[in-house]
């Protein structure tokens, strides 16, 4: 049976997780380029409804999508119900087929104002926001939760139930508390509990980075799908790999050369969005290199050389040289 979020059909149960500073239009394009139909949904990085309320240009810019990017979801964060609704309208005007509410961001500047993970302390307020947005907007509304504020207040079941009652079409759970931030492991048994408790599709998010973790965390959970975050940065071909694995197809893992070639694709996109800003290009490409190669001992020397590049041309030259080099960088496991 096809997987749906409300009226929107997803071609795959593998979803690109929202990641601030990462999943902009250019990165999402890169993921589309690498994985095609194996990506079920593209989600923006979170966008502040307060900034949208003040007509902040950068926040509007963050809602941009490619014409062939679909299904497309805009994630919003904030707290004031009427600001959330107004921002949701802007998102729909700009092509959002789904609008997601962030109830998980742990950043102090977000939770201080009662948004992000602070909403996990107030499931009834999550319901208020969902209800108003469902009433006002013509697209499905979803929520992305953490398991709670801390271990003493695990509110994911109540928040999930209330969101569903208020009309949410799907719920995603990153099963860590706000206090845990990104430390320790993601508790996928909580995803399983939530999936069993709700009628709407439940998506799990956390620590799925390869076929082993997909098998051990996602598959036994009973969740409808999985969001891929840091794993998709380290291996932008992860959707394709897991899609093929799920279909019983065997495929060799991408080589590091293949992955590094993507830096050029990314750079081309940046040039389009930010012409004449070479410093920004270099900074953003290095940021991606940094995240892609973190905790990867097999790239040690190359990582350092890429990150020390003084210009984007020098960095891309190193990438080009990989084409001609011996396959010393080939990874054993992808
Ligand atoms: C750099 C970064 C930025 C993130 N930004 C967001 C965000 O904007 N909205 C959100 O709901 N979650 C955000 N997250 C959380 C991820 O969506 C995801 O739930 C979490 O990283 C666990 O999944 P993973 O282990 O697959 O990365 C972010 C995570 C990272 C690493």
Distance between CA atoms of residues 41 and 16, nearest Å: 6
Please report which helix (H) or strand (E) contains residue 306, including its range.
helix 300-308
Distance between CA atoms of residues 317 and 297, nearest Å: 22
Atom of ligand 1 nearest to the CA of 22: 1
Cα Rg, the chain, nearest whole Å = 20
Domain range summary for the chain, segments of one domain joined by +: 3-246, 256-329
| Secondary structure letter of residue 247 according to DSSP | T
Pocket probe for ligand 1: among 15, 20, 126, 235, the residue whose CB has the most ligand atoms within 8 Å is 20
Write down the residue that tokens 């997601």 correspond to. 100
Contacts of 314 (CB under 8 A, 6+ apart): none
Nearest-CA residue for ligand 1 atom 29 is 19
Q: Is the pLDDT of residue 316 over 90?
A: yes
169 CA to centre of own chain = 18
Atom of ligand 1 nearest to the CA of 102: 11
36 CA to centre of own chain = 16
Rounded mean pLDDT, 63-73: 97
Asked if residue 102 has its Cβ within 6 Å of ligand 1, the reply is: yes
CATH 3.40.50.300 fits 3-246, yes or no: no
| Closest listed residue to residue 120, CA positions, set 71, 90, 157 | 157
Distance between CA atoms of residues 30 and 37, nearest Å: 13
Active-site residue flag, 51: no
Q: Is the pLDDT of residue 327 over 50?
A: no
pLDDT of residue 324: 61
Distance between CA atoms of residues 236 and 156, nearest Å: 30
Asked if residue 204 has its Cβ within 6 Å of ligand 1, the reply is: no
- pLDDT category at 252 given cuts 50, 70, 90 is confident
Q: Is the pLDDT of residue 323 over 70?
A: no
In this structure, are residues 106 and 178 in contact, taking their beta carbons and an 8 Å threshold? yes
Distance between CA atoms of residues 35 and 29, nearest Å: 10
My answer on whether omega of the bond before 168 falls inside 30° of 0, hence cis, is no
- pLDDT tens per residue, range 164-204: 999 999 999 999 999 999 999 999 999 999 999 999 999 99
- pLDDT category at 326 given cuts 50, 70, 90 is very low
- pLDDT tens per residue, range 76-105: 999 999 999 999 999 999 999 999 999 999
Asked if residue 19 has its Cβ within 6 Å of ligand 1, the reply is: yes
pLDDT of residue 329: 38
């Amino acid at each position: 049976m096809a997987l749906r979020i409300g009226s929107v059909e997803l071609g795959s149960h593998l979803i690109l997780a929202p990641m601030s500073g990462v999943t902009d239009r250019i990165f999402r394009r890169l993921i589309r380029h690498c994985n095609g139909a194996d990506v079920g949904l593209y989600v923006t990085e979170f966008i502040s409804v307060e900034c949208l309320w003040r007509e902040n240009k950068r926040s509007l810019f963050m809602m941009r999508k490619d014409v062939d990017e679909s299904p497309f979801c805009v994630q919003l964060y904030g707290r004031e119900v009427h600001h959330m609704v107004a921002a949701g309208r802007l998102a729909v005007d700009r092509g959002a087929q789904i609008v997601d509410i962030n109830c998980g961001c742990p950043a102090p500047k977000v939770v201080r104002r009662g948004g992000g993970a602070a909403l996990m302390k107030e499931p009834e307020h999550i319901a208020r926001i969902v209800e108003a947005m469902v009433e006002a907007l013509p697209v499905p509304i979803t929520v992305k939760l953490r398991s709670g504020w801390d271990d003493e207040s695990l509110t994911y079941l109540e928040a999930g139930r209330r969101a569903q009652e208020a009309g949410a079409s799907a719920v995603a759970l990153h099963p860590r508390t706000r206090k845990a931030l990104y430390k320790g492991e993601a508790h996928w048994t909580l995803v399983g509990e939530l999936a069993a408790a709700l009628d709407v599709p439940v998506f799990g998010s956390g620590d799925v980075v390869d076929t082993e973790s997909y098998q051990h965390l996602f598959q036994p959970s009973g969740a409808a799908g999985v969001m891929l975050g840091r794993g998709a940065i380290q291996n932008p071909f992860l959707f394709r790999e897991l899609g093929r694995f799920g279909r019983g197809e065997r495929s060799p893992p991408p080589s590091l050369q293949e992955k590094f070639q993507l830096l050029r694709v990314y750079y081309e996109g940046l040039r389009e969005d930010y012409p004449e800003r070479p410093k920004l290009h270099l900074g953003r490409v290095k940021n991606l290199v940094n995240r892609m190669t973190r905790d990867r001992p097999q790239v040690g020397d190359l990582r350092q050389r890429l990150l020390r590049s003084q210009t984007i041309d020098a960095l891309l030259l190193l990438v080009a040289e990989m084409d001609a080099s011996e396959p010393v960088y080939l990874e054993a496991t992808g």
